[in-house]
């Protein structure tokens, strides 16, 4: 944390440890300047006030997706959210729609359990404007935009009322696989997306796209997935199974 122009900001934290009857609220004053991030402030509390504060983080630059929390009720990555974006006391809560492990940390297991089986992390890259492909590399690859932070699932109003809903990250992921097939079983993926708790369950609130810190646009991808499913249904009608024709005649 830089110290120029330092003043003090108040954080209001959700504290919970397994075995507690219910969570409680705890407030801390933290030295901060205009660049201090929510993650830096939480780390300061951990270092100077309470080493038992549960905090999930890894990369500090919005690439790993581990530090998702709710800041004043909105889904944010703590590492790229500045305290100075908010007025007054800043409230930090764990993400919603996933079980709280402790303090502001949720258990990500149910999040990852929603994904379709095949789960690669690299995609063919868009080429940079004016750049040629490097000799010896047929196609650039780069990591998926999705950093699996869970913020979209936390923000999703459907997931809040239906724990079985597969949710935006997993559905957007399936659409990514269809858009750029790398050998997945297309029909199996579409069957997966056609389940009751999948693409059709979305209410199109677009909260996931609003929450996404990595420009995945999950809601738009769910809509694209629905178009794929409709296309498949229509194609099914246009090309009837020969067996059915025989049955009718």
Question: In whole angstroms, what is the distance from residue 122 CA to residue 65 CA?
Answer: 16
Beta carbons of 168 and 218 less than 8 angstroms apart: yes
Rounded to a whole number of angstroms, the minimum distance from the CB of residue 245 to other proteins is 44
Residue 139 or 245: the one with the smaller Cβ distance to other proteins is 139
- For tokens 């500090």, what's the residue? 60
Residue 66 or 226: the one with the smaller Cβ distance to other proteins is 66
DSSP letter at 148 equals -
Beta carbons of 10 and 90 less than 8 angstroms apart: yes
Rounded to a whole number of angstroms, the minimum distance from the CB of residue 127 to other proteins is 8
| Options 13, 104, 108, 190; binder of other proteins; rule CB under 8 A | 108
Q: Does 64 bind other proteins (CB under 8 A)?
A: yes
Contacting other proteins within 72-91 (CB under 8 A) = 79-80
Q: Does 127 bind other proteins (CB under 8 A)?
A: yes
DSSP letter at 198 equals S
| Options 6, 25, 29, 142; binder of other proteins; rule CB under 8 A | 142
Residue 59 or 205: the one with the smaller Cβ distance to other proteins is 59
- For tokens 């399936």, what's the residue? 174
* Stretch binding other proteins (CB under 8 A), from 23-31, 127-135, 200-208, 233-241: 127-135
Q: Does 192 bind other proteins (CB under 8 A)?
A: no
Tokens of 190: 């579409």
Q: Does 131 bind other proteins (CB under 8 A)?
A: yes
Instruction: Return all residues near 155 (Cβ < 8 A) that are at least 6 apart.
Output: 75, 96, 207, 208, 210, 211
Site string for other proteins, 202-231 (x = CB under 8 A): ------------xx----------------
Pick from 88, 56, 60: nearest CA to 72:
88
Pairing status of strand 7-15 against strand 122-124? unpaired
The secondary element (H helix, E strand) that includes residue 43 is helix 38-48
Task: Tell me if residue 5 falls in helix, strand or coil.
Answer: coil
Residue numbers of the site for other proteins (CB under 8 A)?
A: 1-4, 17-19, 35, 37, 40, 47, 51-52, 54-64, 66, 79-80, 101-102, 105, 108-109, 111-113, 115, 119-122, 125, 127-132, 134, 137, 140-145, 147-148, 214-215
């Amino acid at each position: 944390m830089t110290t120029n122009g330092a003043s003090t900001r108040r954080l209001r934290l959700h504290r919970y440890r397994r075995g507690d009857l219910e969570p409680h609220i705890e407030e801390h004053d933290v030295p901060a300047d205009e660049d201090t991030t929510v993650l830096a402030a939480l780390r300061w509390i951990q270092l100077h006030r309470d080493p038992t504060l549960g905090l999930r983080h890894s990369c500090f630059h919005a690439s790993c997706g581990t530090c998702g929390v709710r800041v004043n009720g909105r889904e944010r990555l703590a590492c790229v959210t500045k305290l100075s974006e908010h007025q007054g006391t800043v409230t930090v809560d764990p993400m919603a729609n996933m079980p709280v492990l402790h303090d502001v940390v949720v258990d990500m297991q149910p999040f990852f359990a929603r994904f379709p089986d095949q789960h690669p992390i690299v995609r063919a890259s868009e080429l940079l404007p004016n750049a040629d492909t490097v000799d010896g590399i047929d196609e650039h690859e780069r990591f998926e935009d999705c950093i699996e932070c869970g913020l979209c699932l936390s923000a999703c109003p459907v997931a809040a009322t239906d724990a079985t809903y597969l949710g935006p990250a997993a559905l957007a992921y399936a659409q990514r696989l269809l858009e750029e097939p790398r050998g997945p079983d297309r029909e199996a993926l579409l069957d997966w997306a056609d389940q009751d708790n999948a693409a059709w369950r979305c209410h199109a609130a677009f909260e996931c796209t609003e929450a996404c810190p990595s420009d995945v646009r999950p809601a738009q991808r769910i809509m694209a997935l629905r178009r794929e499913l409709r296309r498949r249904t229509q194609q099914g009608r246009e090309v009837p199974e020969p067996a059915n024709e025989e049955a009718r005649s």
